[in-house]
């Protein structure tokens, strides 16, 4: 689910970058002195106007997740962005025509090459804007694939139970040997048990926490998506309403969540106390 928040972070970064960027067309016209301007000065207003974040067909929920913008002005914003890009292309070609007529450096062959290059760039940019409309559908497809993977994981051999049980037993045994048999075993073997205990604690505190991410991230995603059901299509409403958070099964009808690492640590301490009392 980390992929879902990455576009939102990029969207926030773009919005913050261009929030304070205000280009005054009146000031630009007053500074124009009637001479042949450079390409940068001609296209400055248009380039900055098409980069405003409101031109993208998305809105943010909880400042974290992107949702498709279903407002009536969204198609107009996209059309305006594409029209601005086409106007940008015309200014580019006009600037090259002025430069070629005044200096005579650029030949006709170079004109055709440059026109082809800029046409490809504008077409690719327009295609990218249109491709943004597919992101919500692709997100639901990725979520559906994750649900299918969860079902396959549940039907496989109990590998998760073996990993969790082995980690608990190995951690408890290593700590017991370190606390009780320091004077009875050689130093190299004692160092080996130190490393085993350290590795097991890393597994408990970091790896098991990673396994809780599918549940926590998908729960936040579904909660945010359900808040915007009124602005979705009918198919998206039915699909989101039927979704449940992703779960990594840990055996006995339980799954890995935020408290799993603390629960396993408590079991390790209970096992260690049991060993010490034997």
Tens digit of pLDDT per residue, the chain (278 long)?
344 445 555 555 555 554 544 444 444 444 444 444 444 544 555 555 554 444 455 555 555 555 555 666 666 666 766 676 666 667 666 666 666 666 555 555 566 666 666 666 666 666 665 655 555 555 556 666 666 666 666 666 567 778 888 888 888 888 888 888 888 888 888 888 888 888 888 888 888 888 788 787 777 777 776 766 566 667 667 767 777 777 777 766 677 778 888 888 888 888 888 888 87
Residue 116, exposed/middle/buried by CB under 10 A (0-12, 13-18, 19+)? exposed
- Do 158 and 109 lie in one domain? The reply is no
- Do 174 and 246 lie in one domain? The reply is yes
CA 119-123-124 angle, 5° bins: 120
State phi, psi for 58 to the nearest 5 degrees: -135, 155
- Given this model, what pLDDT does residue 5 score? 45
- Given this model, what pLDDT does residue 261 score? 84
Instruction: Give strand pairing partners of 251.
Output: 254
**Cβ of 105: how many Cβ atoms within 10 Å?**
8
- Do 265 and 162 lie in one domain? The reply is yes
- Given this model, what pLDDT does residue 78 score? 66
Residue 151 CB partners (closer than 8 Å, separation 6+): none
- Do 82 and 142 lie in one domain? The reply is no
pTM: 0.45
Cα 172 to Cα 200: distance, rounded to the nearest angstrom = 10
Handedness of CA 126, 133, 6, 247 (dihedral sign): negative
Residue 88 CB partners (closer than 8 Å, separation 6+): 43, 46, 47, 50, 122
The last residue of one of the domains, among 87, 102, 133, is 133
Cα 274 to Cα 261: distance, rounded to the nearest angstrom = 20
Task: Give the structural domain span for 243.
Answer: 137-277
- Given this model, what pLDDT does residue 275 score? 85
- Given this model, what pLDDT does residue 111 score? 62
CA 154-217-205 angle, 5° bins: 75
Cα 31 to Cα 226: distance, rounded to the nearest angstrom = 51
Question: Is residue 221 within 8 Å of 1, Cβ to Cβ?
Answer: yes
- Given this model, what pLDDT does residue 262 score? 85
Cα 80 to Cα 130: distance, rounded to the nearest angstrom = 13
- Given this model, what pLDDT does residue 64 score? 52
- Do 97 and 49 lie in one domain? The reply is yes
The last residue of one of the domains, among 100, 133, 166, is 133
- Do 154 and 166 lie in one domain? The reply is yes
- Given this model, what pLDDT does residue 2 score? 40
- Given this model, what pLDDT does residue 136 score? 55
CA 75-241-64 angle, 5° bins: 55
Q: How many domains are contained in the chain?
A: 2
Question: Is residue 241 within 8 Å of 229, Cβ to Cβ?
Answer: yes
- Given this model, what pLDDT does residue 98 score? 66
The last residue of one of the domains, among 133, 161, 195, is 133
DSSP H helices, 61-134, are 74-103, 108-131
3-state secondary structure of 179: helix
- Do 107 and 142 lie in one domain? The reply is no
- Do 143 and 11 lie in one domain? The reply is no
- Do 151 and 263 lie in one domain? The reply is yes
- Do 64 and 86 lie in one domain? The reply is yes
- Do 128 and 195 lie in one domain? The reply is no
Cα 224 to Cα 245: distance, rounded to the nearest angstrom = 12
């Amino acid at each position: 689910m980390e992929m879902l928040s990455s576009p939102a972070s990029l969207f926030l970064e773009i919005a913050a970058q261009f929030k304070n960027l205000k280009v005054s067309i009146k000031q630009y016209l007053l500074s124009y002195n009637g001479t042949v301007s450079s390409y940068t000065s001609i296209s400055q207003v248009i380039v900055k106007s098409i980069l405003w974040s409101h031109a993208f067909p998305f809105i943010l929920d909880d400042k974290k997740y992107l949702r498709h913008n279903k407002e009536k002005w969204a198609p107009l914003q996209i059309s305006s962005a594409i029209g601005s890009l086409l106007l940008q292309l015309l200014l580019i070609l006009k600037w090259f025509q002025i430069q070629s007529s005044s200096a005579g450096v650029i030949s006709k062959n170079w004109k055709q090459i440059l026109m082809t290059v800029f046409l490809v760039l504008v077409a690719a940019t327009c295609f990218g804007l249109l491709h943004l409309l597919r992101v919500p559908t692709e997100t639901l497809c990725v979520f559906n694939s994750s649900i299918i993977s969860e079902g396959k994981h549940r039907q496989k051999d109990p590998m998760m139970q073996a990993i969790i049980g082995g980690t608990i037993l190995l951690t408890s045994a290593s700590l017991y040997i370190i606390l009780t048999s320091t004077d009875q075993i050689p130093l190299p073997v004692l160092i080996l048990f130190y490393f085993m205990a350290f590795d097991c604690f890393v597994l408990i505190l970091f790896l098991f926490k990673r396994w809780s991410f599918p549940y926590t991230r998908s729960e936040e995603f579904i909660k945010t998506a359900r808040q915007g059901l009124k602005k979705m299509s009918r198919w998206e409403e039915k699909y989101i309403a039927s979704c449940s958070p992703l779960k990594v099964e840990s055996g006995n009808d339980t799954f890995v969540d935020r408290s799993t690492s603390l629960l396993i640590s408590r079991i390790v301490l209970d096992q260690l106390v049991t060993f010490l009392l034997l």
